[in-house]
Chain A
């Protein structure tokens, strides 16, 4: 069956070689798709059909050597290809983005170290490799815009402005953490920076993000705050794109033209489930137009391309034109979580993406386009290393939550614990603040 679609330009990822022989699980022959890097699309296989695509493939740079950045994000409704331009951002922006990505990487690497030293426990999901998506999108937001994430949320919180100290303390479970130690790795919240979580179940945050976007529209139209143009970004993965909540929210967001951008961080793996094995049509961006919103596919390893798509999507949302679905093709360099042995993924696949490290790419671009000097970048790296060290020190020295914190924050209005046998509200019991009351 020939795939008839709009002319789409997609940057090719790697060779997706899923050999039945190298894995203990038996992959069916359907999944043996060998793609050459130039002519095949990023596509999963479908059963016995061979997909031939009618695509015009843009001049691409090979993984290692190009110095021009080609922006190739396209909306499904045909659009002219962007011409290459040499300078896609200013020096300040470049340094800001570089710093943010480097912070994300350094922080996550430190998390891994701390985890193995027994400073943090439970499920910790690291973001190494995906920094371009976070920095590409979030650095374009205002403070009042909201970000909703999943359990892989440390870097989203950092990009949005939550101090590294607060995040590290939260991971250590200390009371100085951004959620007072009550949330943990998977529940990063910040009212000040409008980070609405941090959700452990996938898909759970998408309706919450839709709600935040709804509030923005409500403020503008019902409360008549005419300048309210806050947008919401919902980050989630390829696994979530098969979940009902995703589809229900795509529908509602498009229906009411909510100012939300659905950002799919497609890193091809949901723990050990390859995206191709889980999805009937692996091209997630196509699901946008099915609901009446543009669907865009972008190379998520290239922060400049992500930034360009983000600018357009955020602009759309701010102008009240409605939601956008952006599929960022990216990769996580580490396992799903620190407990994941990461045995299933093909080393060649990992090597391929490691060669396209977004930080290295940006560094190369910035230097080759003479925007910044090596010294500038080194200075940033040194500064960030210090920030991360300081965050660890701060978290180490912070106290653990005391018992009195146990019963606080269960209810916004603690009368919700009810009336005790003595006629007094339970929250008025002095033992309540000690955390030892019977509730």
Chain B
């Protein structure tokens, strides 16, 4: 795991030193014309291509990008922090920027958040802006939606994503649908976030992956963060978005450390992130599995393979452009996810790829998902429910045969 961070760290450092984040240097292509164009910050987009500046009309930088250009004028060095701190930084910047942004959830205020994402915010902004709610997920989620309809921009925290199952009524019926059933009269700019995924022996109910349950709800967007860099960027993008966004964090990733830029940046909610360009096989992943994949990638590289790893980030909608470009290059697809096999994100992604890129595939898509099993408590069993690097290596070898 450590080596992956070194790679990330090095690439980030390379990127931040090589590019001056001068907005004049980057041109926003027409595809980006709908996004914000403020000169005070840069919209950073993940590049689907290998070469920096290969398409004159594309923004290029990425946290884990390719080789750096020769460094121009020195930019700020960036600062190192952990993922939960990155989330907090993003949250705080947005709360500072817009007084309508508020947080509500269990223990977000005085306790500072069960994963410390909101630590210190209640002292700074007061008990109403960082609201400690009673344990009533359905109702406080609905309350957040009502507040959003009447002008606020709440961030609703589920202490654990699994608790949001209690809020499914509000998320499906109101969050997703109200903009439509009201004929566009009300918008619901909420961010629903919380940690999910399989942790360290947390037991079945605390180890749920809700992305598969929520993905069919029309009218919502889902993103999953995996690094401090994209956590902060996605948090800010989600808060600024007028759509309801569900931000999936992972319990085990909160203590990841990375160096992120000092300058303000907002990532694109609908885009995927190129983690490692390659030629032989496309590996699509998100959240914690990204790290398992990168670990497997090390082994694969030693064995002579060249996998292209994409962190899809946007779980709904899928970034079919980045994914498609990759498939057109490698013709082999492996999906690695922590979601359940049945009806999971991988299943949807397989269907979407088959529908759109069938001609480009040399072999059927392989999808590695967690077992359709309630996550057991025992450590050994828990390990076997989730996809592990050796399985990924084996799958790639099988595919590339």
Contacts from A to B (Cβ < 8 Å) = 146, 148, 177-184, 187, 189-191, 196-201, 204, 206-219, 221-223, 244-245, 248-249, 251-252, 255, 408-413, 415-428, 439
B139 interface contact, C-beta 8 A: yes
B residues 378-393 in Cβ contact with A at 8 Å: none
- Alpha-carbon separation in the docked complex, A107 to B151 (Å): 32
A399 to chain B, nearest CB (A): 15
In the complex, 25 of the A-B residue pairs with CB atoms within 8 angstroms, ordered by the A residue number, are A179-B181, A180-B184, A187-B181, A189-B181, A198-B181, A199-B174, A201-B173, A204-B174, A209-B146, A211-B148, A212-B147, A215-B150, A219-B151, A249-B142, A251-B134, A252-B133, A252-B140, A409-B180, A409-B183, A411-B242, A412-B243, A417-B317, A418-B320, A419-B270, A419-B322
Is the CB–CB distance between B31 and A423 below 8 Å?
A: yes
A419, B321: Cβ atoms closer than 8 Å: yes
- In the complex with contacts A183-B183, A196-B150, A412-B188, A421-B356 CB distance below 8 A: yes
How many Å lie between the Cα of A179 and that of B136 in the bound state?
30
Residues from chain B with a CB closer than 8 A to the CB of A190 are 185
Chain B min CB distance to A424 (Å): 6
Interface residues on chain B, number (Cβ under 8 Å): 63
Cβ of B282 < 8 Å from any Cβ of A?
A: no
**CB interface residues, B 165-205, toward A, < 8 Å:** 169-170, 173-174, 178-189
Cβ 8 A contact of B139, one of A210, A411, A425:
A210
Q: Note all chain A residues with C-beta closer than 8 A to B34.
A: 415, 425, 427-428
**Nearest Cβ distance between residue A169 and chain B, in whole angstroms?**
11
Residues on the A chain within 8 Å of B35, using CB: 415
How far apart are B326's CB and chain A's nearest CB, in angstroms? Answer: 12
Q: Which 5 A-B pairs have the closest CB atoms?
A: A211-B146, A207-B142, A418-B317, A180-B183, A179-B183
- Give every chain A residue within 8 A of B152 (Cβ-Cβ): 214-215, 218
Inter-chain pairs besides A182-B182, A211-B142, 15 sampled, C-beta below 8 Å: A182-B183, A208-B174, A215-B146, A215-B147, A218-B128, A249-B139, A252-B139, A411-B221, A412-B184, A412-B243, A415-B269, A416-B269, A416-B270, A419-B322, A421-B320
Query: B239-287: which residues lie under 8 A (CB-CB) from chain A?
Result: 241-243, 269-271
Does B141 lie at the interface of the complex (its beta carbon under 8 Å from any beta carbon of A)?
A: yes
Question: Which residue of the partner chain A has the closest CB to B314?
Answer: A418
B185 to A248, Cβ gap below 8 A?
no
Q: Nearest Cβ distance between residue B154 and chain A, in whole angstroms? A: 8
Residues of A within 8 A of B185 (CB): 179, 189-191
Please list the residues of chain B having a beta carbon within 8 angstroms of any beta carbon in chain A. 31, 34-35, 99-100, 102, 126, 128-129, 133-134, 136, 138-152, 169-170, 173-174, 178-189, 218-219, 221, 241-243, 269-271, 314, 316-322, 324, 356-357
Asked if B317 and A412 sit within 8 Å, CB to CB, the answer is: no
Q: How far is the CB of B321 from chain A (nearest CB, A)?
A: 4
Residue on B with the closest CB to A175? Answer: B183
A419: B residues at CB distance < 8 A: 31, 270-271, 317, 319-322
Nearest CB in chain A: distance from B166 CB, A: 9
Which residue of chain A is the closest to B139 with respect to CB atoms? A248
Smallest Cβ distance from B146 to chain A, in angstroms?
2
A413 to B35, CA, bound (A): 10
**Docked complex Cα distance between A204 and B56 (Å):** 50
Bound-state CA distance A187–B126 (Å) is 35
| Interchain CB contact under 8 A, B221 and A416 | yes
B321–A422 CB distance below 8 A: yes
> For the complex, what is the distance from the CA of A428 to the CA of B181, rounded to whole Å?
23
**B317 pairs with A212, CB closer than 8 A:** no
**How close is A435's CB to chain B, nearest CB, in angstroms?**
13
**A199 and B149 alpha carbons, distance in the complex (Å):** 14
Q: Contacts of A146 on B, CB cut-off 8 Å? A: 150
Which residue of B144, B169, B242, B356 is within 8 Å of A211 (Cβ)?
A: B144
**A206 touching B142 by the CB < 8 A rule?**
yes
Contacts of A423 in B (CB 8 A): 31, 321
| Minimum Cβ distance to chain A for residue B169 (Å) | 7
Shortest Cβ distance from B322 into chain A, in angstroms? 8
Interfacial chain B residues near A249, Cβ < 8 Å: 139, 142-143
With A179-B185, A201-B169, A223-B100 known to touch, is A212 a contact of B179 (CB < 8 Å)? no
Is B357 a contact partner of A196 (Cβ separation < 8 A)? no
**A residues less than 8 Å from B241 (CB atoms):** 413, 416
Chain B's nearest CB lies how many Å from the CB of A240?
13
How long is the Cα–Cα vector from A4 to B356 in the complex, in angstroms? 71
Neighbouring B residues of A245 by C-beta, 8 Å: 138-139, 142
Within the assembled complex, what's the spacing in Å between the Cα atoms of A198 and B180?
13
**Residue contact B321 to A421, C-beta cutoff 8 Å:** yes
Check A187 against B146 for contact (C-beta < 8 Å). no
Query: Shortest distance in angstroms between A239's beta carbon and chain B's nearest beta carbon?
Result: 16
Collect the chain A residues with CB atoms within 8 Å of residue B321's CB.
419-423
* Docked-complex contact B317 and A207, CB < 8 angstroms: no
- Take A408-B184, A423-B321 as given contacts and tell me if A211 and B128 are in contact as well, using a CB distance cutoff of 8 Å: no
Shortest beta-carbon distance from A228 to chain B in Å:
11
Contact B143 A214 (CB under 8 A): yes
| Cβ-defined partner of B182 (8 Å) among A189, A411, A420 | A189
- Chain B residues with CB under 8 Å of A244's CB are 138-139
Task: Give the chain A neighbours of B269 by CB distance below 8 A.
Answer: 415-416
For B150, the chain A residues whose CB sits under 8 A away are 146, 196, 211-212, 215-216
Q: Smallest CB-CB separation from B184: which chain A residue?
A: A409
Q: Which residues of B are found within 8 Å of A251, using beta-carbon distances?
A: 134, 136
CB of B382 to closest CB in A, whole Å: 33
Q: CB < 8 Å: which of A210, A420, A427 contacts B146?
A: A210
Q: Which residues of A contact B314 (CB under 8 A)?
A: 418
- B180 lies within 8 A of A248 (CB): no
Q: Once bound together, how far apart are the Cα atoms of A19 and B349, in whole Å?
A: 59
Partner of B183, one of A181, A196, A219, A439: A181
A412-B189 in contact (CB<8A)? yes
- CB of A214 within 8 A of CB of B147, answer yes
Could you tell me if B270 and A425 are in contact, using CB atoms closer than 8 angstroms?
yes
| Contact flag A412-B270 (CB < 8 Å), given A180-B184, A248-B139 | no
> With A and B bound together, what is the CA distance between A169 and B128 in angstroms?
40
- Max chain A C-beta neighbours (<10 A), residue from B136, B140, B183, B319: B183
Could you tell me the distance in whole angstroms from the C-beta of B240 to the nearest C-beta in chain A? 10
